[in-house]
Amino acid sequence: ENRITGKLNLVIDDPAKPQAAFLMYQAVYRDGAIPDTVPERQKQLLGYVTAGFRIDALMLGTLGTLPDDVAQRVYDGEPATDEKLFHASHPGRAFADARFRRSLTLAVGGRTWTLEYASLPAFEAEVAGRAQLLGLALGGGLVSLLLFVIVWSLATTHARAEAMAGRMTRSLRESETKLRALFAQAPLGVWLLDTDGRIVDCNDQFARYAGVDRERILGFNVLRDASDPALKGPIEQAIAGQTVACETPYTFTVSRVASVYQWHFQPVRIDDETGFVLGFVEDISARK
């Protein structure tokens, strides 16, 4: 399900004219289904679809126009305090002066909003000649209608977020399929190393150079367990963030296959640090 943040200001808005807003997050999982357990969700998580909402614009878009008979306030949390005020349809209206008032809470995206409603002069004039019970019942009906509109708006927003997540998931799958095909069919040996020097993936061409099945290569630590130290320095430089290219003879530990190779190591950065190293290798012994 989706989750929302507390009250904040969007960075795209003018800091001198802050507008109360919140962010909604919708998780996107592999295969499009929500796993049942937390560990499964963590494993299948691809990322998040994020949308920002200015609360004033959301309420105006939901109601169409500002009501002239009922004033509304929305607070981010409870109890309702001035610091938590999220939205006020009529900022100048003193709720304490209203003849009819109603307060209730609403669960939204993992948070609790407090909603307050107060009658405006137009509403009070309409019910002035009626019994107080009838006025309270009508006020409750207006509150229920407003709540229905708010919940309906959030539900349709959730549906749009899920549809967007579905489209993004399909796009990610297509991209992943294309990259996997390129990885598998490349004429060069391609391999991935983590920042500890372990081989986490490789294509069939790299396995052919190594002289063993691909499954025997995965998990091998080149920095710690390789009998030939020729690649230790270049790999450590790549993990440190440098792009490295070199030509050198090399003997694979797992098969004792030896030849002359051209090596290229490209660090891939994630959040301003090396996440893994992408390596390319070509047997150049015939050219030599």
Which regions of 181-239 does DSSP assign to beta strands (E)? 189-193, 199-202
How far, in Å, CA of 25 to CA of 45, rounded? 13
CB 70 within 8 A of CB 120: yes
Cβ proximity of 277 and 239 under 8 Å: yes
**3-state secondary structure (DSSP) of residue 210:** helix
Write the CB contacts of 122 (distance below 8 Å, at least 6 apart in sequence): 68, 69
**pLDDT value of residue 136:** 45
User: At CA 152, angle to CA 146 and CA 155, rounded to 5?
Assistant: 145
Taking only the tens place, the pLDDT of each residue in 210-226 is 999 988 999 999 999 99
- pLDDT for the residue 224: 93
The confidence score (pLDDT) of residue 56 equals 82
- Closest by CA position to 149, among listed 78, 61, 30: 61
Calpha distance 58→64 (Å, rounded): 10
Residue 166: its H or E element: helix 132-185
Please name which of 72, 149, 155 lies closest in space to residue 109, comparing C-alpha atoms. Answer: 155
191 beta partners: 202, 279
Residues of the chain with pLDDT under 50: 129-139
Digit-coded pLDDT (tens) for 85-108: 888 888 888 888 888 888 888 888
Tell me how far apart the alpha carbons of residues 62 and 90 are, in angstroms, rounded to a whole number: 16
Token pair in block for residue 265:
């190591």
Residue 107 bridge partners (DSSP): 112
Q: What are phi and psi of 238, to 5 degrees?
A: -65, -40
Q: State how far the Cα of 55 lies from the Cα of 224, in Å rounded to an integer.
A: 56
Chain centroid to CA 269: how far?
Answer: 19
Q: What is the pLDDT of residues 116-154, one digit of tens each?
A: 888 888 777 765 544 444 444 444 555 555 555 555 555
Element (H, E) at 258: strand 258-270
Contact by Cβ (8 Å): 151, 58: no
- Give the pair of three-digit tokens for residue 65: 């126009």
